[in-house]
Each structure stands twice: as C-alpha cells, then as structure tokens.
Amino acid sequence: MKNQNLINRIIIVLFSLTIFTSCTDNVSYDEDAIQLTINEIVSTPTNSWFKSEMNSYKPDTNVMKEIINNFDSGKHKVYLYANFNCGCNSQQTDISHLCKVFEECNIPESSYEIYSMRSSTSKHPYKSRFSISELPECIVMQDSNAVYFMLDTMRQFKRYGQTISVEQLLLNGLKK
C-alpha cells in the first residue's frame, strides 16, 4: 500500500511538472507554426472554450461599422498567433473574440491567417517580415508591411490599468 501511494505521488508530481513546463513562455522551441482554420480550432476537443468565447462575445457595433468601412481585403491582412496547446494565457480569448469580429464584419477567411505556435520563437511563414515577442499576438498588415501589433498594444494598455477592445485595436491597425 505504501509503495502504491508513493507511485501515485510520483505520477502526480511528474504530471504537474509536465503541465507547468509546457505552459512557460521562456521555453524555446524550434518547431514550425501550424496554420489552422476556425473550424479546425473549434473541432479540436481541447479547444471547446474557443467557440463558447466566440459566441458569448458582444463587439461594439459602432466600431464594427467603422471596421467594415475601413477594411480593404486587397490591402489588409491579419495574422493571429497563439499556443492552442496551452490555456495558460488569459489573452487566448482575445483570439476568439477577434474571430467573432471577423465573422460579424464578413471579413473573408482569405484576409486573415491563424497559427498555432508552441512559443514566440517558433518558425512561421512571415518570420522574415516581423518577429513575435509574446504569444498570443495579432498583427495587422498593410500592403505586406506589419503596421500594428494588436495584443502587444493591449498589454501596454493593461500595464496602465486601461482596457481596449479587440475590435478597437483592429480598427486602430486599419487606420495606420
């Protein structure tokens, strides 16, 4: 009985360490980013939170009208990066909220790309154009140039005790 308790404790400790180390941002991986669609994210059982967050989010309709008026699919593209294997960052929901904005504004899937990355150092197709300092991140591109790092800006607002919605961040990026 003592041996079984010891084995159970060892298993729990190893499992806890595995979870802890898989969610740290300072771990450097050299893996490639994986491109995903919203349907692929939603259909993955571990991402059940994504659809519920998307469905429950109520974006500001006035800002949405401005996004519709300012978004030019010939000029703008948005890249979203997150670690969908880890729910350790509360900003993961910002990705689902932004997907809701895309849906509500009828922004075509060809105007944005979603990537799952293990860390900010993972290889991604646009690494030569910009680097990602922290996950998750959303980058607004204009004429193939990175003009606005949305979630990096959101983190700056939070440092000063302010909040800004993802739809306002997207609009700010479109106006660059």
The pTM of the full predicted model, rounded to 2 decimals, is 0.78
**Which one has a higher pLDDT value, 162 or 1?**
162
Q: What is the pLDDT of residues 97-150, one digit of tens each?
A: 999 999 999 999 999 999 998 888 888 998 889 999 988 999 999 999 999 999
User: Taking the domains of the chain in order of start, what are their residue ranges?
Assistant: 27-174
pLDDT band at 28 (very low <50, low <70, confident <90, very high): very low
Q: Please state, in angstroms and as integers, the Cα–Cα distance from residue 127 to each residue in 21, 35, 71, 174, following that order.
A: 25, 14, 24, 21
- 27-174 in CATH: which number? 3.40.30
The helix or strand, by DSSP H or E, that contains position 41, with its residue range, turns out to be helix 38-43
Half-sphere exposure of 161 (CA within 13 A, CB side): 0
